[in-house]
């Protein structure tokens, strides 16, 4: 009685292609079948099979075929069995080990494959009359085996390049008889030379936005179906079809040239962004996607996001309307909605530099936390409208879990262990401070902010880059897009050279805000001139708080230093004052009030308790914080205005 056998051939991605036939039929006749990737047919217990491939045993040729192929009985494979995966595994046993070695099998390839859990059954019959292979996992295969034709290659196709990267074609260009292609350049996350915190998962691709060079036809290897999505997976897994959810952008912005002059304005070393794809970017590829509002509600809950801000203290009476399209009807204020205020939470708030800038940018301060009792006293004095707690961060998260929901969160964990100026080591203290930097994920899970900002030392971009990448990965894994770069506060009206790493993260369904544009620059830049020491401290009244010049001069009378020109920005102020930071006269150091003004605290800002100079030096400069949060507020308003206009349009049509 003739047996059913299958002639198999392995391609470079370990995809098995073959023809089912009877033993009494010629090899070129029979039903075309597609077998799952061979790695998926191998259970963990089949160690001998894997070892045989790796050890490269002597070649054996199949006598029934002129090509390298695998022959085995598949009649068992299509019979009803309790364990189809085990049956398939047993079919791929020792009789074919030597034959497998005939093929160039690369076990490190991240080709299109799926785990054993999705293999049932692993053999699918194709339409004999179609002349094409039925794609596994529902992928569209244009030719056999996925050949890219220069004459038929078109926009909307995705292809694999010779170097292992990929291209989603958006433009076809012909010149001088040569054809080249432009589009989305994609790479496997496992092949990134500098992953920048992107989770490295097999089958996951990332769109490298900053790489957009034309690709000639000669560089294209084959068609490779790629799925685009704007949702994060339930968990990052090492199997599945090729899928792209993220885009990575690097902007070289060492200097920004003013179009009206030949001057350049330094802004930051480089700007980086890892973002989840938008609804528009996914649907442009003819793939389904979830709209921004759906993503936001899925993350923060229905009706937990109030457009234009959750704070209603400034609302006035105005006509209302009901959004009937929402299964959970929501009241929309048609006239006065834009007068709402976004809410703000500040972790590791210190004396309140970030909160001061946020209030000046139009945010409603909701809560704050810090473990320094003197800083908390200062914060409570200056921001009575906010709930501030003297507590360890983790205790605050536990005790106030239900009351932390805000539109925007800011965090400035202790940065001393990562600062280039950190020279005196304290193992216990450094370990505690280092652990604080990873609390952003806990903050996100509790507060579910639409946007989170983080301010840290620029040292994280250098020798502590691994720590920065871990922080970025935490944001990405919970579905947040993230942008970061090193900014100099002097470009935003702060009269001191102060370089800080700024991170902005936007939750699901939110537009990722940009880094703020410089407002101050050198002469000829058509920006405001840099603020200087003299222009700042000369405006301080003699009777100002914390400004006892005579007492400080008496204490410093034997500590003369070289005088210098005060018509320039100061060096970076630190909790101890900072190196080379003293009064331009050289006769004394800065008073606490002078230091506070150089940090751009308002003149009426009251410092309380002890360690006032430390409170000032550790703070985020309020003027810089204001520039940052104005950009965040602008981005949120753009999103809310766009959605409100769409809802008003729907109601007008109805």
522, 263 contact by CB (below 8 A):
yes
Give one DSSP letter per residue of 36-86, joined into a string: --GGGG--TT-HHHHHHHHH-PPP---TT-SSS-EEEE-TTTTS--S-HHH
List, in sequence order, the alpha helices (H) in 495-562.
533-537, 549-555
Q: Which residues pair with 21 in a beta bridge?
A: 5
Cα separation, 618 vs 620, in Å, equals 7
For the chain, helix, strand, coil in percent to 5 are 30, 25, 50
Q: Please choose, from the candidates 306, 292, 293, the residue with its C-alpha nearest in 3D space to the C-alpha of residue 343.
A: 306
Q: Strand 387-390 and strand 364-370: pairing? A: parallel
Cα separation, 453 vs 624, in Å, equals 13
| HSE-up of residue 472 (Cα within 13 Å, Cβ side) | 27
Retrieve residue 362's tokens: 């139009």
The answer for residues whose C-beta is within 8 angstroms of residue 11's C-beta and 6 or more apart is 17, 145
CA distances from 21 to 62, 65, 84, 89, 125 (A): 15, 12, 21, 20, 12
Buried b (16+ CB within 10 A) or exposed e, 10-33: beebbbbbbbbbeeeeebeebebb
Q: Please choose, from the candidates 296, 440, 300, 311, the residue with its C-alpha nearest in 3D space to the C-alpha of residue 363.
A: 311
Retrieve residue 165's tokens: 């990267």
- Phi, psi (deg, nearest 5) at residue 454: -140, 135
Which residues are catalytic, by number? Answer: 415
């Amino acid at each position: 009685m003739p047996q059913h056998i299958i002639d198999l051939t392995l391609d470079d991605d370990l995809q098995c292609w073959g023809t089912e036939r009877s033993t009494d039929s010629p090899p070129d006749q029979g039903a075309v079948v597609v077998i799952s990737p061979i790695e998926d047919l191998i259970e963990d217990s089949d160690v001998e099979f894997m070892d045989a491939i790796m050890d490269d045993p002597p070649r054996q040729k199949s006598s029934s075929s002129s090509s390298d192929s695998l022959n085995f009985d598949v009649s068992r494979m299509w019979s009803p069995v309790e364990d189809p995966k085990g049956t398939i595994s047993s079919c791929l046993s020792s009789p074919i080990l030597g034959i497998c070695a005939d093929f160039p099998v690369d076990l490190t390839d991240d080709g299109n494959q799926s785990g054993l859990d999705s293999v049932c059954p692993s053999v699918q019959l194709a339409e004999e009359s179609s002349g094409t292979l039925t794609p596994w996992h529902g992928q569209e295969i244009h030719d056999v085996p996925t050949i890219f034709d220069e004459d038929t290659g078109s926009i909307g196709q995705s292809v694999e390049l010779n170097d292992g990267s990929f291209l989603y074609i958006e433009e076809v260009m012909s010149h001088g008889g040569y054809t080249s292609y432009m589009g989305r350049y994609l790479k496997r996350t496992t092949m990134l030379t500098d992953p920048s915190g992107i989770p490295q998962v097999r089958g996951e691709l990332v769109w490298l936005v900053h790489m957009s060079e034309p690709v000639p036809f000669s560089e294209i290897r084959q068609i490779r179906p790629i799925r685009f999505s704007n949702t994060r997976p339930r968990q990052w897994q090492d199997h599945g079809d090729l899928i792209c959810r993220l885009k990575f952008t690097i902007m070289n912005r060492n200097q920004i040239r003013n179009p009206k002059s030949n001057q350049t304005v330094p802004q930051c070393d480089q700007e980086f962004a890892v973002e989840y794809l938008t609804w528009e970017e996914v649907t442009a590829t003819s793939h389904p996607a979830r709209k921004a509002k759906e993503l936001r509600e899925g993350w923060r809950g229905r009706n937990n996001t109030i457009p234009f801000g959750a704070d209603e203290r400034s609302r006035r009476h105005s006509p209302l309307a009901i959004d009937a399209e929402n299964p959970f009807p929501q009241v929309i204020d048609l006239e006065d909605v834009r007068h709402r205020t976004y809410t703000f939470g500040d972790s590791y708030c210190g004396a309140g530099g970030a909160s001061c800038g946020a209030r000046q940018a139009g945010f409603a301060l909701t809560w704050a936390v810090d473990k320094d009792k003197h800083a908390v006293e200062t914060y409570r004095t200056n921001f009575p409208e906010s709930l501030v707690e003297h507590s360890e961060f983790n205790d605050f998260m536990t005790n106030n879990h239900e009351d932390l929901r805000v539109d925007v969160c800011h965090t400035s964990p202790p940065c001393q262990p990562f600062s280039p100026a950190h020279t005196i080591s304290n193992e216990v203290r450094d370990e505690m401070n280092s652990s604080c930097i990873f609390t952003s994920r806990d903050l996100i899970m509790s507060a579910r902010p639409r946007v989170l900002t983080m301010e840290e030392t620029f040292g994280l971009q250098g020798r502590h880059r691994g720590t920065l990448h871990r922080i970025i990965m935490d944001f990405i894994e919970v579905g947040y897009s993230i942008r970061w770069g090193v900014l100099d506060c002097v470009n935003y009206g702060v009269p001191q050279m102060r370089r800080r790493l700024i991170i902005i993260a936007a939750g699901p369904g939110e537009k990722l805000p940009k880094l703020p544009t410089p407002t101050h620059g050198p002469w000829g830049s058509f920006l405001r001139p840099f603020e200087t020491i003299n222009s700042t401290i000369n405006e301080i009244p003699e009777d100002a708080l914390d400004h006892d010049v005579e007492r400080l001069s008496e204490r410093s009378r034997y500590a003369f230093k070289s005088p210098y020109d005060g018509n320039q920005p100061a060096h970076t102020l630190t909790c101890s004052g900072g190196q080379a930071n003293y009064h331009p006269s050289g006769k004394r150091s800065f008073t606490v009030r002078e230091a506070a003004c150089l940090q751009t605290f308002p003149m009426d800002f009251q410092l309380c308790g002890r360690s006032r100079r430390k409170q000032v030096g550790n703070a985020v400069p309020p003027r810089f914080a204001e520039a940052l949060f104005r950009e965040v507020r602008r981005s949120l308003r753009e999103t809310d205005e766009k959605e409100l206009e769409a809802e008003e349009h729907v109601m007008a049509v109805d």
